[in-house]
Structure 1
Amino acid sequence: MRTRPSACRPNHTGRSPVPNPPNGGCLHATGTARIQQDAPPGSARLPRRVRVMLAMLLLPALGCRSPAGVATMPTQSPVIRSVHLSAPSVPRFAMLELRVDLEAPADNPFDPAQIDLSAEFTGPGGRTVRVNGFLDRPWSRRLEGDREVLVPAGPTQWKVRFAPDRTGRWTARVRLRAPAGTAEHSPLAFTVTPSVSRGFIRRSRRNPAVFAYADETPFILVGENMCWGGWNGRRGTFDYDAWLDALARHGGNWIRIWMSSWNCALEWSPDKEAGYGEFRGVGRFNLAHAWKLDRILDEAERRGIAVMLCLGTYGEFTEGGFFGEGQWKANPYNQANGGPCARPADFWTNPRARELYRRRLRYLAARYAHRTCLHSWEFWNEALAPPEWVREMAQCLKGTGPFAGDPLDPYGHLVSTSYGNDAVWRIPEIDFTQTHHYGKGDIPDSAPVIREDALAHARHGKPHLMAEFGIDWRKGDENYDPDGRGVNLHNGLWSSLLSGNAGGGMIWWWDGYVHPKNLYSRFASLRRFADQVDWTAGPWQQLQASPPELEGPGGKPGDLRLPATAGWGRAAEEPWTITPLGPDGSRPLPSFLYAPAKPDLRTTPRLRVDFAQPGRFSIRVSRVSVAARLRILLDGQPAADVRLSAAPPARPGATPEYKSTALNKEHNVWQAEFDREIAIAVPAGPHEITLENMEGDWAEVSEYVLAPYRSARAANLNLYGLAHGRTAVLWAQNRDHCWKNVFEKRPIPPVAGARTTIRGLPPGRCVVEWWDTWKGEPVRREEAVVGPSGLVLRLPVIERDVAARVLPAPPARSPRDR
C-alpha cells in the first residue's frame, strides 16, 4: 500500500543507549557482553597518529574495518567459553536455544566476515542441519500515556535457535570463525519429544493453488494486513496484543507485517528517524526493533496466527509521495548516508549493496526462521525489483543456484515479493504470486476485480493472494462505511477464496477500520466455511456454471450496462464474450486503454457480441492522461475515432472538452476529468468490437453499454466457484449488494427464482448444503441429481449473497441397516 504514517510519525521506542560495540573492539559474551578497546601489543608506546596509520594498513588484510577515528586490531584468536542449552529436551518443531559465551575481536558484530557463529545439529540417522547464530539483547516495554517505550533489560548475548523436525536424540556442535582463527565447542546432546505441531507451512503437493502442512492439512489464509502498530504507531506492540487477540477469537489465522523504519526495520540511518529505535547505519542492526518483532511473532504464534514478513517497502527508494512516504534521503544505502549507492537504481546492481542485503537476510533467518508461524519472507512491498535481484536473494535463502547446499533458511520457508511480473513469478524459488488493488472510491465492488485477478494468475501454477485491497488507496474504508457494515471486506474475502486464491482477500485498513468497527466476524464466517472443505484432496478447477438466469417468461431486452472494474494493469488478450445474460465468465472489463507509449500495459480489448436487433455500443470516458485517440472498430473496420486532450486549450478563451484538468507534478503531465460518451451503431447479428488508444498516454473508461441487449431473464448475480471430483463449492452474490449502494443507501432488490446449470460433475445423487455467509453456518440441505447435462441448481432468494457446498450423497442404507 502506498502509505506510511506521515503527519505524526510513530514514536514507540525509547532512545536509551545500546552498549553494543559501536566503534569496534573485542566482543565478549558470557550471558553478558563486555566491550573493550584492544590495541596491538606495544602500540600504546607509539604516538596515536602512528597507531592509527598502522591500524589502517593492517586492518584490511585481516578482513576488518576500522571505524572513523578508532584503531581496532583483532589480535587474539576467537574463544568459545561455554554453550548453554535452553532445555535438555524440546518438543518437535519447538525452539531450542543455545546461549554462547564467546570472545572474538570485532568492529561490527553483525558482519559474518568478522564473527561467524553457527551450530551444526545432527539428528537421528545422521542428518545434519547448519544454523547461523546472531547477536541479541533483551528489552522490556511499558506504556507512557499512549506511547510504547522500550528499554534495555540486560546485556547483549550470542544465540543460536533451532527447530528440530524429528524426534529422538540430537547433538549440537557450535563453531566460531573469525579472521584470527576458528574455535569449536564439544557437542552437546538433547532429546526431541513428540508434539502436536504440524510444523512449517508449504505449498500443497496435491493442489498447487493452496498452502498446506507437510501432512497435507490445508492452511487456507483468513486474515488481514497488520503492518505496523497503529496509524501513528505510538502504542507499538501493545496494539498488536489487542488486534491479534481479536482476530484469533474470530478464526483469523494470517497477517502481514512490514519491517519499516517506523516499525521493525533492522537497518536505517542514525538520527534520520527520531524515536524509531537505535539505528546505526548500513550493516548494523537495531536490536530494539529485532526484539520487538520477536515479541509480535511470539504473540502471533501463541494464537495460531501465521505471518508473512515483508522486509522493506518501495518508499525506501523514492522521494516525496502522496503520503510523504519517500525515504531515499534517509536510506542507509544512500551514499550520502555512508552507503554504497549513488542513486536508488544502484541498490539492485551494486555488489556491495547486494552483499549487505544478503547479510541482513542472514540475520533475519538466524533469528526468526525457526518459527513455524513464519509463513513466508516477502522481499518488498510494491517495489518492482529486477528479476535477477529477486532470483539471487531467493536462492540465497533457499540454498539453490550459486548458494547450493548452504541455505540461510534451512527450514525452507516460502518466498515471494510485490510487485512481481511474469519474469519474477517464473522464478522457481518464488513460491506464490500476489497482487494489490485499490480504487479511488470509484469501483463499486472489489469482488469482480479479485475474481479477474485470480483467473489471470492461475496460469503460473502457484498459490495466489490478493494481498492488499481497499475502496480507496488515499483514505481508509471507514470513510465509505461509517456504519461498519463491512460489505467490501466481506465480498473481498469470499470472492477471493471461491475464485481459486489461497485464501480470502487481505484488507489493508486494519487499524482505522477493521478494529475500530469490530469487523472481525467477517473473518469468522469465511473460516468456518473453509474448514469444511478438503482443499488438498487434489487440484480444484474453476466451476463450469452457466450464467444465472431467472425462471419464467421473458420480456423485452433492456440496456446491458457493464462497469469497468479491472483497474490499472494489463488487460487479458483473450476476447470477452458478452451474452444477453452478461459477460461469459464474469471477467471485469478493462478500466484503462493504453497508448503505444505504454507497451508493457497496452492491449486492444475485444468484445464478442450478438445483437438480436439493431442497437448501439458505447463507452464512457472518465479520465485522460496527456491525450488519447480512441478508436472503436466493428468487425475490424473503424466505426469511431475521437481525440481527447487533457492539456489546457492553446487558444485563450476556448472551451475545453474536459470537465477539469490538473498538472500531475510527480510525472509533469496534464490529467483531465471527462464525462464523454463514444458510441457506434451495431447491426443485428454477431460482431467483434475492438477498442484502441492510438496516441497519448491513457484513457480511463468507467462503463460499457450495449442497448438494447440485456435479456429480461438475466439474473443480477455474480457466481464464482470451484470443483474437484464429485465436490463443488460456490458463492452467489447479488451484484447490487456492494459497498457503494450500501453507502449511498440505494435500494437493493433481492434476486429470486434464479437458476444455473453446473457441468463437469460426475452423474449421480448429491447433496447441496446452503450457507449463510454472514453468520458462517449452514442453513439448509437438499438432495439433487447430476444428470447428463449437469446439475440444475435453483438458487434461494438472494438479498446479499449465499454460499453452497455440493457433496456426494451418502450411500443408500439397505433394509437390514434401517
Structure 2
Amino acid sequence: MTEDGLPWTPVGQNDAITWPELEGLFRRKNLAAVEEYLVYLTQHGVTCLRLMLEYAQGENRYFEKPVGRFQPNMVRLWDDLFALCAKHGLRILLTPFDTFWMWLRWKYHPYNKHLGGPCAGRRKLLLCPQTIAAIKTRLTFVVERWGGSGVLFAWDLWNEMHPAHMGNSADRFAAVATELSQHVRDLELRLYGRSHPQTISLFGPALHTHPTLADTIFRHPLLDFSSTHFYDPATLDHPRNTIDPAIKVGELVREALEHTSVNRPFFDSEHGPIHLFKNRRYTLATTFDDEYFRHMQWAHLASGGAGGGLRWPYRHPHTLTPGMRQAQKNMVGFLHLIDWSTFRRKNLNHEITISEPAFAVFGCADDTQAIVWLLRQNARYQRKRLVDPAAPPLAVQVQVPFLKDGTYLVQVWDTQEGTMQNQLRAESRDGSCTFTVPAVRTDMALALTRTA
C-alpha cells in the first residue's frame, strides 16, 4: 500500500547508474535523456527500479573513496535521480553495495584494507566489526539524506547475502540481518516517525547448499517482505524454450511461499539468462527473449508473487526491449481486476485442475478471489522454442478450489494484447468453482472475483 492507502505493486526491473538509460546522471551529462527514459517507464506501467548505490565494475562510481568520504559527484547523481523519480511517481528498491563486482574486483574496492579500508578480506565482509561500522555509516548517510522521501520504496539491506561474506558459515546470518535492520529502522523512526519496508535478497540456489538460510530470508521477524533471485541452470539460466522457464518460476514461487511467513509478500528481485550472457557471451534473439520474459512474468504473478519479478537485463546493451515494456504494461492493466487490499492469496498451482493437458496451469487464491494463468505446452514452433501463435484454440475447463459458495465474475485477459477478451459467470458450490474458457490458443490470464 502507498502512503495514501492505495494498492501498489512492484513492476520494474534491475537498473544501474552506469547502464545506457541512466548513465547521463553522472556529472549531469544528460539529465534530459534520463528524464525521458523515466517518463517512458511510467507510460508502460513501471512503478519501481531496483538499484545499487554504487556500481563497482569500474573505478569511477564508488560511493565512498576513501571510506567515509562520500563522493560529491555520486551524491549529486542520487539527488538528481531521487528528484526525477519523485516528479514522475517512480520508487526505488535500494541496496547499498554492488556485492557481485565488489567481490570480483575486491583488490580495487575502497573497503579493502590494503587500500586503507577496514576489511582484511572479502570473506570477512560481514564478520569484521570495523566493516559493519562502515556499512552502518553509509546507511546512515543515505537515510539522513533521502530516507524522508517516498521515492524510497524499500531497502534491500544486503544484495545476495551469502555465507561467503561470513567465512563460509551461515551462523551469523540472522545476527547480521538484525543488526542492519535495527540500525536503519531505528534511525528512520527517530528522524521521520516511520520506516521503509526491508528485505535481504538471496541468490536462490544458495538455499540448496545452505537450507538454514531460509529462516532469515523468509521468516526473520524484522524483515517486511521476502525476495530471492531466481536462477536455475537447466531452465532459467540457459533457456532452450519459453515454456520450461515459466514452469520453473511457478515451482520456485510456490517453494518460496511455503517458506515465507503468513501474509508476508514475496517477489523475485532478479532473474534472467545469466549463463548465456555471462559465460557464453550470447544475447537472446528479441522475439525469443520477449516471450521468455512475458511467460516468466505471468508465472510469477499467477503463482502468488508480488508483480512479475524484476529482470536483470542480460542483454547487450543492458536494456529491456520494447516488447518487454509492452508486456509490463499489459500486466499492469490486469492488476486492476483484483482488489489487492483484501486479497490474501495462497499458491494453488497444484490444487487447480484443468481439463486440457495441453496447458500448464498457475494460480493463487483466497476464499473470494483468484488469479489463474494457462500456458500452452503442446504447440511449439521455431525448433520447438516458442509457442505457436497459429495453434488451434482449445476449450479449457478450470476448477478452482477453496472459494466460498456464490457467483463469480471470471474476466479473461489477453496477455499479449493487454485487453479483456471475455467475461464469464461461474458458480462456486461446496468450495469449488468450475467454468469453461471457450477458446485458448497460446496463453490466457483469468481474474476471478466474487460478486455481491
Which bracket does the TM-score occupy, shorter chain normalised?
0.7 to 0.9
CA distance in structure 1 between the aligned counterparts of 2:55 and 2:430, rounded to whole angstroms: 61
Q: Share of identical aligned residues, percent?
A: 20
Counterpart residue number, 1:434? 227
Give, in angstroms, the shift of residue 487 of structure 1: 0.7
2:49 is equivalent to residue 255 of structure 1? yes
TM-score (normalizing by structure 1): 0.47
What is the identity, as a one-letter code, of the residue corresponding to 1:430?
A: L
The structure with more helix, counted as a fraction of residues: 2
Deviations 1:473-501 (A, max 9, x none): 44189832334761111112211111111
CA distance in structure 1 between the aligned counterparts of 2:189 and 2:310, rounded to whole angstroms: 34
Counterpart residue number, 2:246? 447
CA distance in structure 2 between the aligned counterparts of 1:485 and 1:406, rounded to whole angstroms: 43
What is the identity, as a one-letter code, of the residue corresponding to 1:493?
A: Q
SS state of the match for residue 391, structure 1?
A: helix
Give, in angstroms, the shift of residue 306 of structure 1: 1.4
2:270 is equivalent to residue 463 of structure 1? no
Name the structure, 1 or 2, with higher relative contact order (CA <8 Å, separation 6+): 2
CA distance in structure 2 between the aligned counterparts of 1:408 and 1:474, rounded to whole angstroms: 45
2:200 is equivalent to residue 417 of structure 1? yes
Among residues 83, 86, 98, which one is paired with 1:301 in the alignment?
A: 86
Q: 2:379, 2:388 within 8 Å by CA — same for their partners in 1? A: no
CA distance in structure 1 between the aligned counterparts of 2:216 and 2:431, rounded to whole angstroms: 42
Among residues 99, 102, 106, which one is paired with 1:314 in the alignment?
A: 99
What is the identity, as a one-letter code, of the residue corresponding to 1:451?
A: G
Q: 2:414, 2:420 within 8 Å by CA — same for their partners in 1? A: yes
Deviations 1:394-413 (A, max 9, x none): 111112xxx8x975775301
Q: 1:737 to 1:502 in 2, by over 3 A?
A: farther
Among residues 340, 349, 373, which one is paired with 1:731 in the alignment?
A: 373
CA distance in structure 2 between the aligned counterparts of 1:302 and 1:232, rounded to whole angstroms: 17
- Structure 1 residue runs without a partner (length 5+): 1-211, 264-272, 319-325, 551-714, 811-818
2:39 is equivalent to residue 245 of structure 1? yes
**Residues 692-731 of structure 1: pairs in structure 2 closer than 5 A:** 715-731=357-373
TM-score (normalizing by structure 2): 0.82
CA distance in structure 2 between the aligned counterparts of 1:286 and 1:275, rounded to whole angstroms: 10
Q: RMSD of the alignment, in Å?
A: 3.1
Counterpart residue number, 2:157? 379
What is the identity, as a one-letter code, of the residue corresponding to 1:435?
A: T
Q: 1:277, 1:288 within 8 Å by CA — same for their partners in 2? A: no
Deviations 1:538-560 (A, max 9, x none): 4223347543224xxxxxxxxxx
**Paired positions, count:** 415
2:15 is equivalent to residue 226 of structure 1? yes
Counterpart residue number, 1:493? 297
SS state of the match for residue 202, structure 2?
A: coil
What is the identity, as a one-letter code, of the residue corresponding to 1:531?
A: H
Give, in angstroms, the shift of residue 744 of structure 1: 6.5
Give, in angstroms, the shift of residue 766 of structure 1: 2.7
Deviations 1:145-176 (A, max 9, x none): xxxxxxxxxxxxxxxxxxxxxxxxxxxxxxxx
Deviations 1:623-653 (A, max 9, x none): xxxxxxxxxxxxxxxxxxxxxxxxxxxxxxx
2:316 is equivalent to residue 522 of structure 1? no
Q: 2:155, 2:197 within 8 Å by CA — same for their partners in 1? A: yes
Q: 1:484 to 1:442 in 2, by over 3 A?
A: closer
Among residues 295, 304, 307, which one is paired with 1:503 in the alignment?
A: 307
The structure with more strand, counted as a fraction of residues: 1
Give, in angstroms, the shift of residue 364 of structure 1: 0.6
Q: 1:809 to 1:744 in 2, by over 3 A?
A: closer
Counterpart residue number, 2:206? none
Give, in angstroms, the shift of residue 802 of structure 1: 0.8
Moved more, 512-521 or 794-803: 512-521
Give, in angstroms, the shift of residue 750 of structure 1: 4.2
SS state of the match for residue 796, structure 1?
A: strand
2:92 is equivalent to residue 288 of structure 1? no
Q: 1:737 to 1:433 in 2, by over 3 A?
A: farther
CA distance in structure 1 between the aligned counterparts of 2:19 and 2:118, rounded to whole angstroms: 33
Deviations 1:401-442 (A, max 9, x none): xx8x97577530111222272232232222211121233424
When Rg is computed on C-alpha atoms for both structures, the one with the higher figure is 1
**Residues 24-103 of structure 1: pairs in structure 2 closer than 5 A:** none
Moved more, 481-490 or 511-520: 511-520
Give, in angstroms, the shift of residue 292 of structure 1: 0.4
